[in-house]
Chains A and B, each alone.
Chain A
Amino acid sequence: MVFHLFIPIITPMIGATLAVFFNRQRIAARAIALISVLINLGYGLWLMSVVPASGPLVAQASGWLAPFGISLVADGMSALMVMLAALLMLTTIVYSFYSVDYERERHFYYPLLLLLLLGVSGAFLTGDLFNLYVWFEVLLVASFGLITLGGSRDQLEGGLKYVVLNLLGSTAFLFGCGLMYGFAGTLNMAHIAERMATLSNPGLQTALAGIFLFAFGSKAAIVPLFFWLPSSYHTPPVAVTAIFSGLMTKVGVYALYRVFGLLLQNELAVYGPWLTLLAGLTMVIGVLGAVAQMNVRRILSFHIISQIGYSIMGLGLASAAGLAAGLVFTAHVMIVKMALFFIGGAAEQINGTGDLKKMGGLARREPLLALFWFLGILSLAGIPPLSGFIGKLILLQVGVSQQAYLITAVAAGTSILTFFSMLKIWNEVFWKKSYEDVNLLPRVPLGLLAPGAALVILSVALGLLAGPLVDYNTIAGQQAFDRGAYITAVCGVDGCEAVYRAALK
C-alpha cells in the first residue's frame, strides 16, 4: 500500500481549480500550471526509479479492500506513461506561453490543460475498469474544450466530428464495461483477470475483446476508425495539436495494452494475427494518406496514425517482448512526434500559413529550427543513432524472432515512406527558395524553438544511451504481461477471489 500514489491525480485536480480562481491573473495561472506539472513530473520520475525493482505499487482509494474499492496500480508501463505525460505537458505549457493568444488564456486554457493531464494520469494509474472509463471521459471533456476553444468555423466543423466519433467510442467502452460486469461480476482489473482465467466461455470473451478493440481502437485511431483524427487535429492552435498528438491516441494504445495484456490475455492469441493485420494496414494507409497532403500539420496528423500501427504491432506480436518493444517505440514516438509538431508549428506561425506551397526558404533564415527539424525526421524515420532507430530495431527484432516476417517487412518499408513524406516538408518549408523575401518574416522566438529542441535532444540522448531505456521497458513489458504479479500486488498472495470470499463470509 503506497498512500502517496494519488499525488499525480490530486495535483492537477487542485491545480486546475486554483487556475480557475486565478484566471484573471495571467502570471498566477501560468505559474500554477507549471508547478502542478513539475510536481507530476518529479513524482513520475520517482515512480520510474522505484517500480522496476519493487514490482507494481498499489493504493486503495479511501482504504476500501481491494476487489471492492477503486485501486490505483503503478507498474512499469503506468509509471513510464505518467512521467511522459507530465514531461510532454511541461513542454506544451512552455510552448503555449509564446504561442497562445490572451483571449484563449482568459477562457480557461490552462485549467483545461491541467484537466487533460488529470484525466490522462488517472487513466494510466487506475486499476478499475469503470474508473478507467471515467478518466477517459475526463480527458475527453478537456480535449473537447481545447479543440473547440476559439470557435472558428474550421474548429467547429473539425470539433463536431472529433466529439461525435469519440463519444461513439466511449459508448462502446461503456457497453464493454457493462458486459464485463455481467460476465465476470466485478470491475476490478486484477479480479477480472483472475476470474477470466477460470471462467470458461470463450465465445463471450472473444466478443468482449472485440468490443474493447473497437472502443480503444477508435481512441487510438487504428485503421478503419481513424477518420476523426486528420479532419480535426490541424484546426486548434499548434500547442493543442501537439499535446493531442502526444497523449490522446497513446492513451488508447495504453488501454489496449492493459486490456489485452492483463484482462483478456487468453484472447491475445486469438486476436494476435488480426491485430498484426490492422497494424500493417494502419502503418501503410496512414503514411499513404500523408503523402497526398500539402499542409504541415495534416501531414503530421496522418503520420500519427501510421506510427500507431507500430505500437499495435508490438501488441499483435502477443508476447512480453512484443509489449516491451511496443512500449519503447511508443515512448519514442510520443517525444519525437511532439517535437515535430512544435517545430513545424513554429515554422507555420512565422509564415502565417501551414500550406506547403506558400512556405519556403526557412533553412537560411532559421538554421537552428531547420537543424532540429532534420534531426527530428531522421529520428522518426529510424536512422541510427537516434531513438527511432532503437524503437524500430527492437520491434523488428522481435518480429523476426517470432517469424512474423510479413509485418516486419511492412514496418521496414513504411519507414522509407515515412522518411520520403517527411522530406517533402523539409524540401518545401526549409530548402526550396521562397517566392517572397524570407528576410521580411518575423524571427522565431526562443520560447517557440526551445520545447521542440529539448525534445529532439532528448530523442538523440535516448538513442545514444539506449541501454537504460531498453532495460526499463523490458521489465515494464514483462510486468504488463504478468497477471500473477499484478493480482498479487493488488489483492495479496491469495488473490482477489479469496479476499472476496472472506469478505462475504
Chain B
Amino acid sequence: MIILLAIAIGSLFGGATYLMLRRSVVKLILGLIMLSHGVNLLIFTMGDGVRRGAPPLVDANGQPPAGVADPLVQALILTAIVISFGFTAFVLALAYRSNQAVGSDDLDDLSTTDRL
C-alpha cells in the first residue's frame, strides 16, 4: 500500500513540475492543481493508519481500536482541499481575465511588469 501511494505521489509531483515548467498559463495552473493533489495524498500517507497501521486513538482499555482511520489527516486534507478549491477558482478566473487583457496564453508575453 505504502509503495503504491509513494509512486502515486511521486508521479503527481513529477507531472506537476513538468507542467509548471511549460510556457502556457493553462498548463501552469494544471500543474499547481496536480501539486496540491500530490501534497494531499502525502498528508494522507502521514496518517498513522497507513504508516503504522493504527490511529492515535485508544479505547477504554488503552488498546488501539480496530478498523478506525486517523481522523486528523482527513480533517487536514479536507481543509487543504477547500482552500485549494477556492484558490483554483481564483487563479482560473485570473488567468482567464489576463488572457482577455493580453490576448495570449504564453508566459513570455506576460513580461511588461518586469521591464525596466
Contact = CB atoms under 8 A, between A and B. Distances in A.
Interface of A: 130, 134, 137, 141, 144, 148, 151-154, 156-161, 163-164, 167-168, 171, 174-175, 177-179, 181-182, 185, 187, 230-232, 234-235, 292-294, 504-505
14 contacts: A157-B98, A160-B91, A160-B95, A161-B110, A164-B28, A167-B91, A168-B20, A174-B43, A177-B43, A178-B42, A178-B76, A293-B116, A504-B58, A505-B62
Contact of A178 (B46, B58, B101): B46
Contact of A157 (B20, B46, B102, B116): B102
Given A130-B76, A167-B91, A179 B46 contact: yes
Contact of A182 (B46, B83, B95, B116): B46
Interface string B24-62: 010011001001100100110110100100001010001
Given A157-B112, A157-B113, A504-B62, A163 B91 contact: yes
B97 A151 contact: yes
Interface of B: 20, 25, 28-29, 32, 35-36, 39, 42-43, 45-46, 48, 51, 56, 58, 62, 72-73, 76, 79-80, 83, 86-87, 90-91, 94-95, 97-98, 101-102, 110-114, 116
Contacts of A292: 116
A175 to B, nearest CB: 5
Contacts of B39: 171, 174-175, 178
B73 to A, nearest CB: 7
A189 B39 CA distance: 21
Contacts, number: 100
A211 to B, nearest CB: 11
Given A160-B94, A171-B39, A182 B25 contact: no
A294 B102 contact: no
B83 A156 contact: no
B101 A156 contact: yes
Given A153-B112, A157-B98, A181 B62 contact: no
A160 B100 CA distance: 13
A171 B39 CA distance: 7
A163 to B, nearest CB: 6
Interface centre among A144, A158, A182, A292 (most CB of B within 10 A): A182
Nearest to A148: B94
Contacts of B101: 151-153, 156-157
B112 A171 contact: no
Contact of B98 (A156, A174, A232, A234): A156
Interface centre among A141, A164, A179 (most CB of B within 10 A): A164
Contacts of B35: 168, 171
Given A130-B76, A181-B43, A185-B56, A163 B116 contact: no
Contacts of A187: 72
B59 to A, nearest CB: 11
A157 B48 CA distance: 43
A175 B42 contact: yes
B43 A178 contact: yes
A157 B95 CA distance: 9
Contacts of B110: 157, 160-161
A181 B58 contact: no
A179 B72 CA distance: 14
A293 B43 CA distance: 43
B116 A294 contact: yes
A171 B113 contact: no
A154 B113 contact: yes
Contacts of A161: 110, 113
Given A157-B112, A231-B113, A292-B116, A174 B91 contact: no
B83 A137 contact: yes
B46 A181 contact: yes
Contact of A181 (B29, B72, B86, B98): B72
Given A152-B101, A175-B39, 17 more contacts: A130-B79, A148-B94, A151-B101, A156-B94, A158-B113, A160-B110, A161-B110, A163-B94, A164-B91, A174-B80, A175-B42, A178-B39, A178-B42, A181-B43, A187-B72, A231-B113, A292-B116
